[in-house]
Structure 1
Amino acid sequence: MPRRATVLLTVLSLAALTGCGAQVAADGKDTAAPSGHYPVTIENCGVRTTYDKAPRRVVTNDVGIADIMFALGLEDHMAGYVMPAYRGDIDAVAWKAAYGKVPWLSKKAITKEIALDARADLVFAGWHYGFGEDSGVTPASLKKLGIGSYVLTESCRNSTTGGSRGVMPPLEALYTDLETLGKIFDVEDRAAALIKKYRKQVADAQAKAPEEGERPSVFLYDGGEDKPLTSGKYAGPHDIITKAGGDHVMKDLKDSWTTVGWETIVERDPDVIVINDYGTPTAAQKKAFLMSYPPLANVSAIKHHRIYVMDYADLVESPRNPAAVTALAGYLRNVRRG
């Protein structure tokens, strides 16, 4: 069958599938007759959507987003996941069986073709976590194909700050997504239990943190040599560093993941540098660069060899964040400022 005809049939099939699934609510009013839990109206990144039933063929993009679905026990609602450039250990998580059960659709970036071929009724991704005008994969473009979208809350665009990402503290973004997805998929009890568990985990680590003024300063290094890619106050590392007892040196940066200048890092002189272990270059290569980069020679973290490596899936929004707080807290407790 010609490709055009195949895509047309797929789109028509998806339109039939999603016609009774999700729809944008008009004036906040439900448009379908109540039936048990459904319809349910949620708000995601400022967009109100009504679901008449739980999506059945979800495609996720990136490891942290797949983790969220699996932590909620929603693997039976998934058609597959896309996970580009991740080298971490997915066997170490409590939901590792789900990774073996759900198809790994691609190790490259998500495309509209991947979603169509999977007969997706919902794509769960984020801005710069799969969604982007450059790739042509956006909630608007998917809607034209009859496919719904859910946007990772960490990546919500903030219209008041020129399109930067982030509208709430990172861990609150995680809890928000768990709670909202719990409503969409009628697993609110599971979501509530996870949120309670994660809040306690973070609180326990936070209770052992140094007092204000005694906290080591921390810079998150994602990569880049000309300009370092780092985390602002709206990406996961901000809350992870802060709750673990560190003073995040980029806490005044009102964005999620973005670049800054090396002169800013030298001026703020972090006691610790956390490396985000993701893709290429490797963490070892990133560390070698930092240790040999002349402008950083007098930075405290470099002088005292205080470089701590964390996995990418620990640092982006995911159910691994609370455990990451605990792990980093253990390291920071042994760091003296200056």
Structure 2
Amino acid sequence: MTPRVSLNSLFRPTLCLALSLLAGQACAETTRYPLTVHSCNREVTFKEAPKHALSHDINMTQMMLALGLKSRMVGYSGISGWKAVTPEMRTILDGLPELAAKYPSVETLLDANVDFFFAGWDYGMRVGGDLTPQTLTPLGINVLELTESCAFVMKRPPASLDDTYNDLRNLGRIFDVQDRANQLIAEMQQQVATIQQDLPTEKPRVFLYDSGEDRAMTSGRLGMPQALIDAAGGRNILDDVEASWTRVNWETVVERNPQVIVIVDYSEITAEQKQQFLLDSKALQSVDAIRNQRFIVIPYVQATPGIDNVEAVQTLAKGFHGA
């Protein structure tokens, strides 16, 4: 009997050669199942590559699509209910259904025969909620947690771009697309290195403003903005706060006197409206960033862990240093 040869086995050496020439790296080994990966404080075992995957939020959906995993997905969730979808993103999502505008239910996942859920704590999952690894694993649904979000369930070091690289690397192994993942990581690392080549040693004091009026929603040292600000040659004024996305009093912002304010653009309240609110706030009139009107705007998808983090670093570096 003539042995069956898959198209993937024929295509992989060609892809591997092309990617290795571009990246100057050896190709990764084919995934051998069962595969066990580390996710937050858990070990997750995959008997085979998932066939009915669901990604939550725009950043995690982008990661999966960038790795060519659209055919392995039943859809995505948590995008249109929170963030405006750009024309570019709408083109990328074409043909992939949104199973829930905000938070999917367990029934939503079961009805779609989901076997893999890529989400994060405070990105589709919450401690004690209906959707957690503990509730979904017994139903045959493996969960990969967004690395940066692990701060909500365990003690971990400050956020870094390595968190995003780790997520891409895990996806590459789980779906047996390591070469694509390694190439994407190498490209991102090279772009960041290029941005950082001539950055000044002086680091401006930076405050990230997500939302909020009575108190400010922002990021401490455990959230991705910490990594972005640091990589761009700035200093997060809340880099001593052991928290990810969190709220602070305006008195704290005034006391630490940021020289630059980074605004996260999403939802019904525009970046322009957020900036005007800050400019009009009587409590903030002594802050350097307000007096000098130094604002930088980045979209939500760049402020959260994902492939657009490099664009955020570039925008921030230019805003901080004119680089």
Q: TM-score normalised to the size of structure 1?
A: 0.81
Alignment of 1:312-323 (within 5 A): 312-323=300-311
Cα offset for 1:90? 5.5
Q: Could you say which residue in structure 2 is the equivalent of 1:252?
A: 240
SS across alignment from 1:305: coil
Are 2:98 and 1:108 aligned? no
Aligned AA for 1:109? Y
SS across alignment from 2:63: helix
Q: Could you say which residue in structure 2 is the equivalent of 1:201?
A: 191
Alignment of 1:51-200 (within 5 A): 51-82=46-77, 83=79, 84-89=81-86, 91=88, 97-133=91-127, 135-157=129-151, 167-200=157-190
Cα offset for 1:301? 0.6
Cα offset for 1:282? 2.1
Cα offset for 1:167? 4.3
Cα offset for 1:133? 4.0
Alignment of 1:297-316 (within 5 A): 297-316=285-304
Contact 2:260/2:296, CA 8 A, preserved across alignment: yes
Q: Could you say which residue in structure 2 is the equivalent of 1:234?
A: 222
SS across alignment from 1:156: helix
1:45–1:172 distance in 2 versus 1, CA, 3 Å: same
What are the Cα deviations for residues 170-207 of structure 1, in whole angstroms up to 9, with x where unaligned?
Answer: 31110111111111111111111111111111111112
Q: TM-score normalised to the size of structure 2?
A: 0.85
SS across alignment from 2:264: strand
Q: Could you say which residue in structure 2 is the equivalent of 1:277?
A: 265
State the distance in 2 between where 1:273 and 1:316 align: 17
Cα offset for 1:100? 0.9
> Percent identity over the alignment?
39
Aligned AA for 1:208? D
Contact 1:81/1:106, CA 8 A, preserved across alignment: yes
SS across alignment from 2:246: strand
Where structure 2 has 5 or more consecutive residues not aligned to the other structure, the ranges are 1-29
Contact 2:121/2:127, CA 8 A, preserved across alignment: no
Aligned AA for 1:142? L
SS across alignment from 2:258: coil
Contact 1:283/1:309, CA 8 A, preserved across alignment: yes
Alignment of 1:202-217 (within 5 A): 202-211=192-201, 214-217=202-205
SS across alignment from 2:94: helix
Out of 144-153 and 215-224, give the one that drifted further.
144-153
State the distance in 2 between where 1:185 and 1:76 align: 11
What are the Cα deviations for residues 50-71 of structure 1, in whole angstroms up to 9, with x where unaligned?
Answer: 2121001111110001011011
Where structure 1 has 5 or more consecutive residues not aligned to the other structure, the ranges are 1-34
Q: Could you say which residue in structure 1 is the equivalent of 2:284?
A: 296
State the distance in 1 between where 2:236 and 2:265 align: 18
1:51–1:321 distance in 2 versus 1, CA, 3 Å: same
Contact 1:58/1:77, CA 8 A, preserved across alignment: yes
State the distance in 2 between where 1:334 and 1:88 align: 29
What are the Cα deviations for residues 122-181 of structure 1, in whole angstroms up to 9, with x where unaligned?
Answer: 1111111001146421111112332221111110146665xxxx5453311101111111
Q: Could you say which residue in structure 2 is the equivalent of 1:325?
A: 313
Cα offset for 1:36? 6.8
Contact 1:75/1:98, CA 8 A, preserved across alignment: no
Q: Quote the RMSD (CA, aligned, Å).
A: 1.9
Aligned AA for 1:171? L
Q: Could you say which residue in structure 2 is the equivalent of 1:26?
A: none
Q: Could you say which residue in structure 2 is the equivalent of 1:6?
A: none
Figure out how many residues of one structure are paired with residues of the other and give that number.
292
